[in-house]
Structure 1
Amino acid sequence: MERYDLLYRLYEEFDTDRLRAYQEFVDLFPPVDSRVALDQWHDASTELDELKGDVSDAFPNVGETFATLASHATRNQAFNALDLYTKHGRGINVLVLDVDETLRSAGNTDNEIPRETLHLLTRFHDRGMPIVICTGQTLENVKGFLIQGLGNELVHSGDISIVYEAGTGVFTPGHGADTKQLLYEGLDDEIREVFRRVRSGVLSDAPEDLRRGCHLQGNEFNVTLKPNFETGSDDARAVIDDALVYLLDLVESSVAGVVGAEEDVAGYARAYYGQTDPEIHDVLAALDERADVGAEAVPEAFRALFERIDVAYYEADAAEVGSLELNKVAGVESAFDVLGIDDPFALVMGDSKSDLRVMQWVDDHDAGIAAAPDHASQHVLDHVTATDRLVFDRGDAAEMLRTAFALTQFADLD
């Protein structure tokens, strides 16, 4: 309990709010060509050093660490970090971060990664911590905003890896022949043909109301229908529910064509995925579109391919078909291999089912902790709440990153 007692004393006896305010001002002060502003920054920096010095002098042996801790983390963040360290006995050694609705949020960050979040990522990088960006976006999009936000030198430092298109590929600059890994090259011809059929017919064969109400996203092995309405609205919910049913039938007909059973189509995909995913089951039930056969009636040839294909439903947001062999877990494992992380203990931050698989993977392997924004999918929130309860406010990834940074400080003490 000694460390808890010291931490309690730190936040009781020192004006840590003031210390953090000076630290934030010094860290995030915009570049300006003004002598008055520069003098203000210099005065704040001097005051910050003095406040840190007071903390350092008051805590023999741990003073420097406690000064850093107090200048970056609130009382709650620091105590949460100490609880995590007490429970797990180790600090974070790699960050695994989703982008959309995690690092940035269309809800309250203008869909940009906030400067505070970018600065914290830079601080982690300066400590030598690898960062894995794990997203469904294309490589070009991710590289563009990372270079803009973090700088070309950091992105190409050799400690940044990008898992893009939800696991289709992994890009880790600075690693020679391993810089770009195309994970889809490992898929066999059978599964490639299924996705070719799905992709080629997804819009051209769709009913007119779906063609008008949805647009297509994704890539060769990830087919996503998004609503042409405001996400979360009643119109978006209705069209995505219909899109889910359509995609289930499209997957079934595509599989039937590959296994040579075009005449043997009887709602097998609806039955299989309705049994394996409660959300899909509920949508089919609500629309009275459940299969006439049970999951036990699905032929083995169909089941063998269904087991390799993911059909995902995001209420009022998206209906998606993807390869279970090209997922974020496979991408993260490949990124760890390239980065040389043999014994990971990751902070995984995300909001969707694809992120949940990574969270479950690190939990199963005692290889990290998981955090999510409070608007994440219910399955993600259920997992996060059941593990370490690391839920942060929408658009405030910095809150969680500060807790993680405090965790690294406690690990440094040992």
Structure 2
Amino acid sequence: MERYDLLYRLYDSFDVETLRDHQSFVNLFPPLDSRVALDHWEDASDELDLRKSEIRDALPGGATFAEVAAYADRETAFTALDLHARYGRAVNGLVLDVDETLRSAGGTDNEIPRETLHMLTALHDAGVPIVICTGQTVENVKGFMIQGLGNELVHSGTFSIVYESGNGVFTPGHGSQTKRLLYEELDETVRGTFDEVRSRVLPEAPRNVRRGCHLQGNEFNVTLKPNFETGSADAEAVIDDGLVHLIDLLGETVVDMVDVEGLDAERGAAWARAHYAAADSEIREVLEAQAAVPETDATALADVPEPVAALFDRIDIGYYRGDAAEITSLELNKVAGVESALDVLDVADPFLLVMGDSKSDLRVMEWAAEHECGIAAAPEHASAPVLSHVLDRDELVFDRGGSARMLRTVYALNLLARLE
């Protein structure tokens, strides 16, 4: 209980709120080319050092507690200590989704906030590897991460990008292991299905989908993105239509790909609708709204030939309302990508912070829980299954655009772990 007692003393006896204000100012507003601004920054830095020294002199382990106070408010600090008491480990890796997690179209103008970028840098400087885990392309992610975190950090050797939801892993600074193309390990039937769908998806799309969507520049996944503002009514409408088209095209392609005589390619669309409606309630809702679920979908499922059903079971349909519709490989999800990234980074005994908002992130959270190798956090607007998992575990839910709070919690957790 000694750490709890000292933490109570810290927050009851010192003006930690003012200390945090000074720390934030020093971190986020570096001195500019102005004598007045420089003087103000130096005054804040001196005051910060003075307040930290008071804590260092007053408490056992005072240097650590001063650093905790500089980054964590009372609730965050006690959450961090509770987590360490529960798991007995410091976090040695970050696995982070980007869209609607690190940044949010509704809360951060779709930019990663400066405070979040600073906390990522602080944790990285403290020796915690970062794995960005996203459905986006590697070039897109690499570009905005270099812009936000700097070229040196991204190429440090302890930074990795799991891209296209696990189809590839990019870890600069690791020679022949820098880029792992995991999708190349799939057999020709799956790869051929994706190639065929990609070549036909826009040319054969309904007019509104062809004009209202574009293909994301993926290496493997086939992703339709809206030519409208993400989340807008126009984006929702065209992505819903695009989803139905993508399912139908996948069904037709799968029937063509399997080596069975006498199959009717036109029935492939109905089989695909029935299969994916049964597998995902959100997809079912979209299909039902467009009267696109077979009237006897249970019968349709029962009639699916085994080779067709087996290939459907290897391919996933992703639906993100007003944002994207895509096909991905169930054999190469974010879990496979994270495991590969940790292997390249040589994190042999991981204890991770996994942050995300969608079904693909949930798989990583469940994997971490099953293997007792991490904690999970999610934004308040995450999908219902994600929130249910996070609330059942450690209740690490943060406000829209507030990912920095979870990073501060981990930073404090790792500091307090030193006091054992």
TM range, normalised to the smaller chain?
over 0.9
Structure 2 gap ranges (5+): none
Matched, 1:273 2:279: no
Q: Deviations over 1:301-358 (max 9, x none)?
A: 0121111101122223322211122222111111100111111111111122222221
The equivalences for 1:360-399 within 5 A come to: 360-399=366-405
Q: Tell me the residue number matched to 1:257.
A: 256
One-letter identity of the residue aligned with 1:48: L
One-letter identity of the residue aligned with 2:152: E
User: CA separation in 2, counterparts of 1:64 and 1:171?
Assistant: 37
- Relative distance call for 1:3 and 1:296 in structure 2 (3 A) is farther
Q: Which secondary structure state, in structure 1, belongs to the residue aligned with residue 203 of structure 2?
A: coil
TM-score by length of 2: 0.93
Q: Tell me the residue number matched to 1:177.
A: 176
Shift of the alpha carbon at 1:130?
Answer: 0.7
Q: Tell me the residue number matched to 1:157.
A: 156
User: CA separation in 1, counterparts of 2:353 and 2:56?
Assistant: 28
Q: Deviations over 1:260-302 (max 9, x none)?
A: 4551525211222222212222332333322234233322101
One-letter identity of the residue aligned with 1:114: P
User: CA separation in 1, counterparts of 2:127 and 2:77?
Assistant: 21
Shift of the alpha carbon at 1:161?
Answer: 0.9
Q: Tell me the residue number matched to 1:202.
A: 201
User: CA separation in 2, counterparts of 1:359 and 1:86?
Assistant: 20
Matched, 1:290 2:293: yes
- Relative distance call for 1:138 and 1:235 in structure 2 (3 A) is closer
Shift of the alpha carbon at 1:237?
Answer: 3.0
Q: Tell me the residue number matched to 2:27.
A: 27
One-letter identity of the residue aligned with 2:319: Y
Shift of the alpha carbon at 1:158?
Answer: 1.0
Q: Which secondary structure state, in structure 2, belongs to the residue aligned with residue 166 of structure 1?
A: coil
Q: Which secondary structure state, in structure 2, belongs to the residue aligned with residue 158 of structure 1?
A: coil
Q: Deviations over 1:43-94 (max 9, x none)?
A: 222211111111122212x211111100100111111111211222212110
- Relative distance call for 1:112 and 1:85 in structure 2 (3 A) is same
Shift of the alpha carbon at 1:108?
Answer: 3.2
Q: Which secondary structure state, in structure 2, belongs to the residue aligned with residue 376 of structure 1?
A: coil
One-letter identity of the residue aligned with 1:343: D
Q: Tell me the residue number matched to 2:360.
A: 354
User: CA separation in 2, counterparts of 1:206 and 1:236?
Assistant: 16
Segment drifting more, 157-166 vs 232-241? 232-241
User: CA separation in 2, counterparts of 1:53 and 1:289?
Assistant: 67
User: CA separation in 1, counterparts of 2:41 and 2:354?
Assistant: 35
One-letter identity of the residue aligned with 2:291: D
- Relative distance call for 1:155 and 1:230 in structure 2 (3 A) is closer
Q: Tell me the residue number matched to 1:11.
A: 11
Instruction: Decide whether the 8 Å contact of 1:165 with 1:218 is kept in 2.
Output: no
Shift of the alpha carbon at 1:123?
Answer: 0.8
List structure 1 runs of 4+ shifted beyond 6 angstroms. Answer: none
Q: What is the aligned residue count?
A: 413
One-letter identity of the residue aligned with 1:359: M
User: CA separation in 1, counterparts of 2:31 and 2:155?
Assistant: 24
User: CA separation in 2, counterparts of 1:223 and 1:144?
Assistant: 21
Q: Tell me the residue number matched to 1:110.
A: 109
Q: Which secondary structure state, in structure 2, belongs to the residue aligned with residue 413 of structure 1?
A: coil
Shift of the alpha carbon at 1:360?
Answer: 1.5
Q: Tell me the residue number matched to 1:318.
A: 324
Instruction: Decide whether the 8 Å contact of 1:221 with 1:323 is kept in 2.
Output: no
Q: Tell me the residue number matched to 1:122.
A: 121
Shift of the alpha carbon at 1:391?
Answer: 1.3
- Relative distance call for 1:230 and 1:38 in structure 2 (3 A) is closer
One-letter identity of the residue aligned with 2:288: A
Shift of the alpha carbon at 1:33?
Answer: 2.0
- Relative distance call for 1:213 and 1:140 in structure 2 (3 A) is closer
Q: Which secondary structure state, in structure 1, belongs to the residue aligned with residue 78 of structure 2?
A: helix
Q: Which secondary structure state, in structure 2, belongs to the residue aligned with residue 351 of structure 1?
A: coil
The equivalences for 1:183-194 within 5 A come to: 183-194=182-193
Shift of the alpha carbon at 1:212?
Answer: 2.7
Segment drifting more, 359-368 vs 109-118? 109-118
Q: Deviations over 1:168-199 (max 9, x none)?
A: 22111121221111111101111011111111
Segment drifting more, 267-276 vs 293-302? 293-302
Q: Tell me the residue number matched to 1:42.
A: 42
Q: Tell me the residue number matched to 2:95.
A: 96
Shift of the alpha carbon at 1:220?
Answer: 4.4
Instruction: Decide whether the 8 Å contact of 1:195 with 1:220 is kept in 2.
Output: no
Shift of the alpha carbon at 1:218?
Answer: 4.9
Structure 1 gap ranges (5+): none
